Structure 1
Amino acid sequence: MPLRLLRFGLGLARPDTRILPLPQELKPHYDVVIVGGGGHGLAAAYYLARQHGITNVAVLDKGYIGGGNTGRNTAIVRSNYLTDDGVRFYAESMRLYQTLSDELDINLMYSQRGHLTLAHTDASIRTMRWRAEVNKHLGVESELIGPDEVARICPQLNLSRDVRYPILGALSHPVGATVRHDAVAWGYARAAGRLGVAIHQGTEVVGFAIEGGRITAVETTRGRIGCGKVLIAVAGRSSLVCNMAGFRLPIRTVPLQACVSQPVKRFLDPIIVSGSLHCYIWQSQRGELVMGGATDPYPLYSTRSTLDFKEGLMAHMLELLPFLGEVKIMRQWAGLSDMTPDFAPVMGKTPLSNCYLTAGWGTWGFKATPASGKAMAACVADDRPPELIAPFRLDRFRELDQLGEAGAASVGH
């Protein structure tokens, strides 16, 4: 008999407290309605309550907490981007992540392990050097290293020159880390619930009542909710929900697949990424090899897995780490990626005066969760985007003022 069960039977242990408050009926009106119960929506709800005192907030999700892209990503956190605006934003997110376990009182399994973005061509070397200089200028630890240093950091890599894509160097980002993705969602959910935020799972938004250029009510499968403000944070469904609200997004939605291997003895410390080979790999605390690659080449609202993805990815994995040939794949899945024309997200106000948006996160939304949630909470509370996210406004596409973050996406899109 487990000791914990014995202690409970003898009255020496108390029952666990609930992660979320008991389910409630929908109230007729909320000051803020957040559409989407993933990391970004829950983080925004938490910071609205914690930092702005706005607790009459409802988070609505058609499924369950963290059941969308938050639970389908591969948990990598980094800030070695290409543009000044991108580097500043993701550096702030990493700073928040480093103390988030203490703040939310939950073990997020934050693990700093280093991040290597491999360069296989002269053009890649130039891009890595460019990124390194931008990063260092903005205080982010990042540098271009040669094959000898790559071999020292990760001796398991195949550094032979007799391959199709030899490793010529890498962008080293020593502070690159991983975080337990579902713990982030549940940590924010629990903290927000304790502050009075209402979290409604199994509640799908099916429309909006719009009058005078503002949303007056949200239509759900459980009834109508009056609202003061609305934040849309639905990841791969952003275009569909915004269409309900009457405005379009410059977004193309494509599946993004990933997989994990059976657990093996720990041998890989850093996160390894190859943009030329369209793949990345890191090893979890349980010994699983977490692997992924480029988005699928066609728009599709589907989270199905394909054999084509797996075959292509494994071919590239074996070029980098040939000894993995006998390792079995244990699980495969897919998420939905909202890709913008400039590979940067959309955050801030929308054409509706009381509607706000966080979308267009492509393949890098999870690492942005704390900074996005905090900034969007401030944007909703003050009706003005903070300086940190002002460059990511939706109007930049109409004004032809795009950001150009494609060079830092790490894998091909």
Structure 2
Amino acid sequence: MSPRTPGADLPEHPDFLWRTPEPKRSYDVVIVGGGGHGLATAHYLAKNHGITNVAVLEKGWLAGGNMARNTTIIRSNYLWDESSGLYEHALKLWEGLEDDLGYPILFSQRGVLNLAHSLQDVRDSVRRVEANRLNGVDAEWLDPQQVKDVCPIVNVSQDVRYPVMGATYQPRAGIAKHDYVAWGLARSADAAGIDLIQNCEVTGIDVQGGRVVGVQTSRGRIAAGKVALCAAGHSSVLAGMAGFELPIQSHPLQALVSELLEPVHPTVVMSNAVHVYVSQAHKGELVMGAGIDSYNAYTQRGAFHIIERQMAAALELFPMFARAHVLRTWGGVVDVSPDASPVIGLTPVDGLYVNCGWGTGGFKATPGAGWVYAHTIAHDEPHPLNAPFSLDRFTTGALVDEHGAAAVAH
């Protein structure tokens, strides 16, 4: 039998990208969560391992959760070897993802600046640049004038509350169009024969003799040889259904966009001290984010004072934004682990896997996370890149503490 041509037997309709199948009674693998990581896992299960008897279950619509609510920054300039290995693998996949999927994702490598505002910021930043270089990750240290050269609209005056004393710069970093990424991954998974099932909420996980055997859903029971949890902020709820706890907390995370503007912002600027980050989307909106709301919640909304502080921080760095109007704000639900690094690997239940704890950094890891998670599921053991991010590190003490690199939403 000749291989199936993607879309060969699909209806001729310009808006049709994937099928809308009814769930089968059983699958080899069930992925719970139809966001970026779930779809990337399905894509690489088919592409790298030939596993296609797979269902992706999404309680709402595909990529309607954090994937639709994130701010699309992609970078790999993390401090520790374990983190930079995983994120750099993801960045290299990003660089070829459009060709891999045969679908546009508008990946724009416009660079990312991480600003330093104190002597301690400078010391930490230079340390991270040198660590990046040792790991083969592109990184530079820029003085204030060089920061101004890269991004002319940044206020580098030394006469402000948080003067810019320099910045790290990763030229290969950038942004991508989040919806297009999700649609390309979904289209590829569907073409491989994987079922993408929307409006299908998982309400229970069936475990027999210490092994997962299926899931209960709003559309009936589905038997499964393996189940992969990929539900971001709701992962702890799903783990509870299987009888174990995850060391994560869920928080609201807010962001906003301005009205459409002419091109004024050529790169991405982040600041932990001022606590804001800003990029300009392809259409022209300024995209801004800050830190998480401090309370735990599963709501996709947050407190107004976070937005107020975010705007004050943005004006500190970009005085010209004072005349811009906020178009809309939104929130997502992020899952934060004790060491600000992800959990991706096996669980105490045989055949049940977990991918969570990405905090504010999940989007940038999308293809890399999908790649290593698919390997973990296919082989029932971690890929070398995600082995350090196992669940048992919280009992062994082998933490990967990235609070410094992940202190601001990104």
Instruction: Please report the TM-score for the alignment, with normalisation by the length of structure 1.
Output: 0.95
Distance (whole Å) between structure 1 residues aligned to residue 78 and residue 47 of structure 2: 29
Q: Contact 1:117 / 1:410 at 8 angstroms: preserved in 2?
A: no
Count of equivalent residues: 399
Q: Which residue of 2 aligns with 1:126?
A: 123
Q: Which residue of 1 aligns with 2:79?
A: 82
Q: Which residue identity lines up with residue 45 of structure 2 in the other structure?
A: L
Alignment of 1:379 with 2:381, yes or no, is: no
Distance (whole Å) between structure 1 residues aligned to residue 210 and residue 338 of structure 2: 27
Match of 1:371, SS state, is helix
> Structure 1: which 4+ aligned runs deviate by more than 6 Å?
none
Q: Which residue of 1 aligns with 2:94?
A: 97
Distance (whole Å) between structure 1 residues aligned to residue 43 and residue 408 of structure 2: 32
Alignment of 1:236 with 2:233, yes or no, is: yes
Distance (whole Å) between structure 1 residues aligned to residue 165 and residue 250 of structure 2: 33
Q: Which residue of 1 aligns with 2:357?
A: 360
Q: 1:410, CA displacement in angstroms?
A: 4.9
Q: State how 1:2-81 maps to structure 2 within 5 Å.
A: 15-16=13-14, 18-21=16-19, 23-81=20-78
Q: Contact 2:42 / 2:189 at 8 angstroms: preserved in 1?
A: yes
Q: 1:369, CA displacement in angstroms?
A: 0.6
Q: Which residue of 2 aligns with 1:281?
A: 278
Distance (whole Å) between structure 2 residues aligned to residue 318 and residue 164 of structure 1: 12
Q: Which residue of 2 aligns with 1:291?
A: 288
Q: 1:25, CA displacement in angstroms?
A: 2.1
Q: Contact 1:305 / 1:332 at 8 angstroms: preserved in 2?
A: no
Q: State how 1:169-318 maps to structure 2 within 5 Å.
A: 169-318=166-315
Q: Which residue of 2 aligns with 1:160?
A: 157
Q: Contact 1:231 / 1:356 at 8 angstroms: preserved in 2?
A: yes
Match of 2:82, SS state, is helix
Q: Contact 1:274 / 1:410 at 8 angstroms: preserved in 2?
A: no
1:335-370: CA deviation from partner (whole Å, max 9, x where unpaired): 111111100000010001100111001000000010
1:210-269: CA deviation from partner (whole Å, max 9, x where unpaired): 111111121001100111000000011111111111110110111110000001111110
Instruction: Please report the TM-score for the alignment, with normalisation by the length of structure 2.
Output: 0.96
Q: Contact 1:116 / 1:173 at 8 angstroms: preserved in 2?
A: yes
Q: Which residue identity lines up with residue 290 of structure 2 in the other structure?
A: G
Q: 1:285, CA displacement in angstroms?
A: 1.5
Alignment of 1:334 with 2:331, yes or no, is: yes
Q: Contact 1:276 / 1:412 at 8 angstroms: preserved in 2?
A: no
Q: 1:133, CA displacement in angstroms?
A: 0.6
Match of 1:112, SS state, is coil
Q: 1:274, CA displacement in angstroms?
A: 0.4
Match of 2:392, SS state, is helix
Q: Which residue identity lines up with residue 60 of structure 2 in the other structure?
A: G
Distance (whole Å) between structure 1 residues aligned to residue 208 and residue 408 of structure 2: 43
Distance (whole Å) between structure 1 residues aligned to residue 308 and residue 21 of structure 2: 46
Partner residue of 1:393 out of 390, 395, 402: 390
Distance (whole Å) between structure 1 residues aligned to residue 140 and residue 123 of structure 2: 12
1:347-401: CA deviation from partner (whole Å, max 9, x where unpaired): 0100011001110010000000101101111111111101011000000001111
Q: Which residue identity lines up with residue 336 of structure 2 in the other structure?
A: M
When the two chains are superposed, the root-mean-square deviation of aligned CA atoms in Å is 1.2
Q: Which residue identity lines up with residue 254 of structure 1 in the other structure?
A: H
1:114-150: CA deviation from partner (whole Å, max 9, x where unpaired): 1100000111111101110110001111022111111
Q: 1:412, CA displacement in angstroms?
A: 7.1
Q: 1:17, CA displacement in angstroms?
A: 6.5
- In structure 1, stretches of 5+ residues that fail to align are 1-13
Q: Which residue identity lines up with residue 313 of structure 1 in the other structure?
A: Q
Distance (whole Å) between structure 2 residues aligned to residue 172 and residue 26 of structure 1: 47
Distance (whole Å) between structure 1 residues aligned to residue 147 and residue 191 of structure 2: 46
Q: Contact 2:293 / 2:303 at 8 angstroms: preserved in 1?
A: no
- In structure 2, stretches of 5+ residues that fail to align are 1-11
Distance (whole Å) between structure 2 residues aligned to residue 410 and residue 296 of structure 1: 13
Identical-pair percentage: 46
Distance (whole Å) between structure 2 residues aligned to residue 137 and residue 49 of structure 1: 34
Q: Which residue identity lines up with residue 135 of structure 1 in the other structure?
A: N
Q: Which residue of 2 aligns with 1:11?
A: none
1:299-330: CA deviation from partner (whole Å, max 9, x where unpaired): 11111143212211111111101121111000
Distance (whole Å) between structure 2 residues aligned to residue 147 and residue 17 of structure 1: 47
Q: Which residue identity lines up with residue 73 of structure 1 in the other structure?
A: N
Distance (whole Å) between structure 1 residues aligned to residue 304 and residue 344 of structure 2: 35
The verdict on how the C-alpha distance between 1:216 and 1:15 changes in structure 2, with shifts beyond 3 A counting, is closer
Q: Which residue identity lines up with residue 281 of structure 1 in the other structure?
A: V
